[in-house]
Amino acid sequence: MTGSAAQPSGHEGTKMSHSTSRFVSQICSLLVVYVFMGPAREAIADAGACCRLDGTCVDVEHDACVAEPGEPYPPGETCATTACVPQAVLQPPLFGDPPTLGCLNSWGDVSAYAGFTIVADDFVLPETGAISELHWWGTYRDRLDTVPPDDAPKEFHIAIWSHVNAFEGAPITSFGRPGTVLRSWSVERAATTETYISCSLDETLQIPVGASFRYAWSIPEPERFVAPAGTRFWLTIAAVFGSVSCDCDADVAAPFGTYNAADVDVVSTHVGCTVNAGDALCDASDVNCDGIVDAADVSTATCQRFSGWADPACCYIASEYAWGWATRPFTSNQGAVRVESPTVPFVGMSFGDGNAVTDKSSSPWDASFVVVTSPSDIVVPASPSVDPAGVGRNRYLGFQVPASWVGSDIAVRVRLVSLDRFGSFNGQFRWAGPVAVFVDDPALGVTFEAAALQCQPTFAAWTANEVVYLYGAEAVPSSTYELQAVDVSCQSDLGNDTCYSQPLVIQTNKWGDVVAPYGGGTQPNFADILALVVKFQGFVSAVSKTRAQLQPNIPNPNVNVNFQDISAAVGAFQALPYPYTGPVACP
């Protein structure tokens, strides 16, 4: 999907009460200043501190600084008073040439925690480092004051996500997008050195739409995220407003006492209904008690569903003035993305829906930010690679060892993201055990390498490009897993998420679906049963054991495919459910 650059004038997902006449008066005053005093009177004509990419400083005008390349500091700050550090990613906003009304050529794309959208943009570090500082620009829409409003955001929610290429993963999008949340922070606005920069423009109408500010936050050393060089990540920054004063309980559907999809469905169904008009479910769906049922209530219900209780952290109210992450013309990498779901992201949560941030000509735009890094002693391995066979399996999780693992002791962690029929285990971790060689086809001498899933890590040396299959009671059909690598240097700090590689996502096939075509309401079918018969008979053309073995609860790679596997496939063909007891909790 692609979205329009023109944003609603109000805070997405919230009830608005803007003072329109005051805002129009502010625009008129700005026009008078521009027409009668000239653009030379604007702050952008004054040279200010410019921190270059290498950490040196020069006093130049804003856009000249961006061209250095460098980060322009707020008006009034000079090199004499500014301590520059080298930057890893530079993407500041621009005024344009010539500047219009002395405003940044940037609209604030609304980014509101628990609102309709949060904004994401990607980055790639040229060298491995720990992200130590983040600088960004944002806009209070529909006001031109040089100070923040009284009801400005309480804090910012910042998260780093993995990357998914266009036309890959689920859901399919025509643009690169965030994948899964890897790290998140809640940052008090008071800790961000919020500083006024200028007015900002509506890209379509070329009129001021708000006041832009620069923010800077130094990340405490224990909380820094280590990003390996050349790996694409996504950054989301969203305004968090004050928490609500009511109970904010999304348990609106039976069975009560649980927080599940039924609650989210009820709230979603009642979006737009009239509160306090005699409809009890409508009233209950106004979870945040702001008098309307909207996307903010859906987001709260979704958040509490994943939390499993009436978590007050899921409940927020909005400001009179929307806050948006400042945009800028597209430079490189991917364009920015509006994340429509989830808008209450937490670590482990994946992208659900969204659209690209574009201008009126449907060209991509970026968000405005700077990333500063510091050296790190943490060694982050490359991600496990995709199984080159390129086919799904029921009971085995396959990956290929990247060449960069050679010479290091690496452990592989498996996150149980979404298990079909065994959802109580979602979010738990297992580890790859010692790798062993097993016989696939005795007549031909074909072998494969496999490792059992276990509760404790095994750090081991690996062979470049070897393909390894993981098996266990946790490897079940129609389920999703994330595989991550961790170096032995982090053995004493396995709870530190910065130690882990980006995840390799693996999805298992539908129960009994052994051969193509995969998925769909007609699978498995007779072709799957026939494939197991052929494997049982030992034909050269048979599929591999890692595809054909379906049973028992913990598959045994030493055992050949037999009649019990064929029987399991017949049961699946007859639409019988998965018959095994599934995972066992780790001690």
* DSSP of 228-261: -TT-EEEEEEEEE-PPPSS------SSSTT--SH
Burial of residue 89, with CB atoms counted within 10 A of its CB: 0-12 exposed, 13-18 middle, 19 or more buried: buried
Q: Is the per-residue pLDDT at 354 higher than 90?
A: yes
Please report the pLDDT score of residue 291 as a whole number: 85
Please report the pLDDT score of residue 107 as a whole number: 87
Share of the chain above pLDDT 70, in %: 90
Please report the pLDDT score of residue 39 as a whole number: 40
Per-residue pLDDT tens digits for 417-427: 999 999 999 99
pLDDT band, very low/low/confident/very high, at 316 (cuts 50, 70, 90)? low
Q: Is the per-residue pLDDT at 408 higher than 90?
A: yes
Distance CA 317, CA 19 (A): 19
Instruction: Give the CA diameter of the chain.
Output: 91
Q: Structure tokens of 489?
A: 């240097």
Q: Count H helices and E strands in the chain, helices first.
A: 8, 27
Q: Is the per-residue pLDDT at 301 higher than 90?
A: no
What are the two backbone dihedrals, phi and then psi, of residue 112, each rounded to the nearest 5 degrees? Answer: -125, 120
Give the helix/strand (H/E) hosting 446: strand 446-454
Looking at residue 8, the DSSP 8-state letter turns out to be: P
Among 24-28, 323-327, 419-423, 504-508, the range scoring the smallest mean pLDDT is: 24-28
Bigger pLDDT: 12 vs 105: 105
Q: Is the per-residue pLDDT at 42 higher than 80?
A: no
Please report the pLDDT score of residue 195 as a whole number: 95
Distance CA 377, CA 423 (A): 37
Mean pLDDT of the chain: 87
Contact in structure between 114 and 313 (CB atoms under 8 Å):
no
Half-sphere exposure of 364 (CA within 13 A, CB side): 21
Among 150-164, 289-303, 370-384, 511-525, the range scoring the smallest mean pLDDT is: 289-303
Please report the pLDDT score of residue 332 as a whole number: 78
Q: Is the per-residue pLDDT at 330 higher than 80?
A: yes
Mean pLDDT, residues 479-484 taken together: 95
Contact in structure between 166 and 176 (CB atoms under 8 Å):
yes
Q: Is the per-residue pLDDT at 516 higher than 50?
A: yes
Contact in structure between 93 and 139 (CB atoms under 8 Å):
no
Mean pLDDT, residues 256-261 taken together: 86
Half-sphere exposure of 408 (CA within 13 A, CB side): 20
Q: Is the per-residue pLDDT at 404 higher than 50?
A: yes
3-class secondary structure for 473-510? CCCCCCCEEEEEEEEHHHCCCCCCHHHECCCEEEECCC
pLDDT band, very low/low/confident/very high, at 58 (cuts 50, 70, 90)? very high
What 3-state DSSP class applies to 155? strand
Q: Is the per-residue pLDDT at 228 higher than 50?
A: yes
Mean pLDDT, residues 545-566 taken together: 97
Bigger pLDDT: 218 vs 375: 218
Contact in structure between 297 and 267 (CB atoms under 8 Å):
yes
Please report the pLDDT score of residue 29 as a whole number: 53
Share of the chain above pLDDT 90, in %: 61
Mean pLDDT, residues 106-126 taken together: 91
Q: Is the per-residue pLDDT at 502 higher than 50?
A: yes
Q: Which residues contact 537 (CB under 8 A, 6 or more apart)?
A: none
The C-alpha angle 577, 578, 581, rounded to 5 degrees, equals 125
Q: Is the per-residue pLDDT at 7 higher than 50?
A: no
Q: Is the per-residue pLDDT at 340 higher than 70?
A: yes
Please report the pLDDT score of residue 10 as a whole number: 33
Please report the pLDDT score of residue 243 as a whole number: 61
pLDDT band, very low/low/confident/very high, at 279 (cuts 50, 70, 90)? very high
Please report the pLDDT score of residue 377 as a whole number: 80
Please report the pLDDT score of residue 25 as a whole number: 58
pLDDT band, very low/low/confident/very high, at 346 (cuts 50, 70, 90)? confident
Among 70-74, 359-363, 461-465, 542-546, the range scoring the smallest mean pLDDT is: 359-363
Mean pLDDT, residues 74-91 taken together: 92
Please report the pLDDT score of residue 4 as a whole number: 33
Looking at residue 312, the DSSP 8-state letter turns out to be: G
pLDDT band, very low/low/confident/very high, at 15 (cuts 50, 70, 90)? very low
User: b/e string for 469-508 if b means 16 or more Cβ within 10 A?
Assistant: bbbbbbbbbbbbbbbbbbbebbeeebeeebbbbbbbbbbb
Q: Is the per-residue pLDDT at 311 higher than 60?
A: yes
Q: Is the per-residue pLDDT at 38 higher than 50?
A: no
Q: Is the per-residue pLDDT at 237 higher than 90?
A: yes
Please report the pLDDT score of residue 546 as a whole number: 97
Please report the pLDDT score of residue 361 as a whole number: 87
Q: Is the per-residue pLDDT at 556 higher than 90?
A: yes
Bigger pLDDT: 501 vs 315: 501
Please report the pLDDT score of residue 11 as a whole number: 33
Please report the pLDDT score of residue 22 as a whole number: 52
Alpha helices, DSSP H, located in 445-577: 526-537, 545-548, 563-573
Q: Is the per-residue pLDDT at 493 higher than 90?
A: no
Q: Is the per-residue pLDDT at 31 higher than 70?
A: no
Strand pairing of 480-487 and 467-471? unpaired
Distance CA 175, CA 29 (A): 41
Contact in structure between 505 and 480 (CB atoms under 8 Å):
yes
Q: Is the per-residue pLDDT at 402 higher than 60?
A: yes
3-class secondary structure for 192-223? CCCEEEEEEECCCCCCEEEEEEEEEEECCHHH
Per-residue pLDDT tens digits for 460-476: 999 999 999 999 999 99
